[in-house]
A = this chain, B = another copy of it.
Amino acid sequence: MSLLVVGSVAFDALETPFGKTDKIVGGSGSYISLSASYFTPKTNLVAVVGGDFSKSHIEAMRLHGVDTEGLQIRENEKTFFWKGRYHTDMNTRDTLVTELNVLADFDPVIPESYQDCSYLMLGNLAPSVQKTVLERLRKRPKLVAMDTMNFWMDTAWEDLMKTLKLVDALIVNDSEARQLAGDYSLVKAARKIMAMGPKILIIKKGEHGALLFFEDKLFYAPALPLEEVFDPTGAGDTFAGGFIGFLARQGEVTFDNMKRAVIYGSAMASFCVEKFGMERLMNLTPAEINGRVSQFVNLVKFEALQL
């Protein structure tokens, strides 16, 4: 089924304990759509870049089945730029530079050919922009998922609450969930967040896996213990892309499919962190993805015995 992804397409400059990069392509919309492209025949992208953005990268996205009709190119402006530095534990990072550029007044225009989308992933953007996307879709998608971040909780709380009411699924990390709910316990936080709107909640815990809450059900997906996390940039978005992409492929939003989608999202994220930026995600095969999912199956498999 058709998937629409709205998010940022950006330049990132990264410093990790393993090295640094000049400007490379990043952004939530890039990671989500590329990750989802492995699951859906067509992934529609709505985003904005400046005239400085790489045409060859847009072509590479198209070759992966990402429809870029909705990618606005403002020739006389500059692409959103973020520069960050990771600490040794790779879980914390400092933002060194943020230049919003074209993202500052992003107006998410939905091409007519995207109007029939059944699945929608709203990447991390201002909650008011996320809401505008929903208002501009004439038919409500079957499943609407969104990401957000602490910054919007600090600066746009009321907008965020309005948007949260309209979505089916929220995908955030543990510190974001704690801040959103004002509760340290993730179980309690989940209950509070689901009362804000989303009936599906995914809390990402980085190297510790992810929790999926749906109605009164709970699923714990481990993360694959890795030798080395080379660059965690985009891992959360890659997870979201795998999650929504797999659901769009399956077509039925059941708890069983959601659990599988979380595993596929985790598998995609485990590839993402192996190289800088989107490098690893550009060259995956279905066999590699299946192999990684098998590792997840074996990682948690046990046969219980009763006392």
* Interface set of A (CB-CB < 8 Å, partner B): 38-39, 88-89, 184-188, 205, 208-209, 211, 218-222, 225-229, 250, 256, 259-260, 263, 286, 289-290, 293-294, 296-297, 299-307
Contacts and interface: CB of A to CB of B under 8 A. Distances in A.
Contact of A205 (B38, B208, B211, B219): B208
30 contacts: A38-B307, A88-B184, A89-B184, A185-B227, A185-B228, A187-B226, A187-B227, A188-B227, A188-B228, A205-B208, A209-B209, A209-B220, A209-B222, A218-B299, A219-B302, A220-B222, A220-B225, A221-B302, A222-B222, A250-B305, A256-B303, A259-B301, A259-B302, A260-B303, A260-B305, A263-B304, A289-B307, A293-B304, A293-B306, A300-B300
Lowest 7 CB-CB distances: which A-B pairs, in order? A208-B208, A259-B302, A220-B222, A300-B300, A286-B307, A220-B299, A290-B306
A186 B307 contact: no
Contacts of A256: 302-303
A225 B307 contact: no
Contacts of A221: 300, 302
Contacts of A219: 299-300, 302
A263 B222 CA distance: 14
A221 B293 CA distance: 17
Contacts of A39: 307
The count of identical subunits is 2
Given A259-B301, A289-B307, A293-B306, 17 more contacts: A39-B307, A89-B184, A185-B226, A185-B228, A185-B229, A187-B225, A187-B226, A188-B228, A208-B208, A209-B209, A220-B225, A220-B300, A221-B300, A222-B300, A256-B302, A293-B304, A297-B304
A146 to B, nearest CB: 22
Nearest to A38: B307
Nearest to A294: B304
Nearest to A257: B305
Given A256-B303, A259-B302, A299-B219, A208 B209 contact: yes
A114 B304 CA distance: 30
A164 B69 CA distance: 62
Contacts of A294: 304
Contacts of A263: 302, 304
A185 to B, nearest CB: 6
A226 B185 CA distance: 7
A294 B306 CA distance: 9
A225 B21 CA distance: 38
A28 to B, nearest CB: 24
Contacts of A296: 304
A93 to B, nearest CB: 15
Contact of A302 (B188, B226, B260, B304): B260
Nearest to A178: B89
